[in-house]
Amino acid sequence: MNEPTEAIKVLNIDHLGIIAGIIDEMELVEEVNKKVGIKEKETLTPGQVMKAMILNGLGFLSAPLYLFEEFFIGKATEHLIGTGVLPEHLRVHQSGKTKKIDRTNQNKISS
């Protein structure tokens, strides 16, 4: 009668679920990816990195950028940012992509 029970993992999304939903409805990730381009070797797309930075910025914390990954620990990153996205994918070097996006494609994104 004792059937094995599956472990339940509870993650937090706070108010970020609403923000992620608005970003999804605006199709911001797809638009950034379309204008900037996607490299096959990258774990995250430029649009996903941009979405993560927006969520981080609206997370009501004033933490330095090197703590970017830690902000997402305990949060449902797969639900907020995209399937397969884990907090460890959001390291500081990933956010460096936005500098590249800004320098090389700022006219593309703003048009």
Q: How does residue 94 score in pLDDT terms, banded at 50, 70 and 90?
A: low
Mean pLDDT of 65-83: 87
Q: How does residue 9 score in pLDDT terms, banded at 50, 70 and 90?
A: confident
**How large a percentage of the chain has pLDDT more than 70?**
77
**From the CB of residue 109, how many other CB atoms can be counted at a distance below 10 Å?**
14
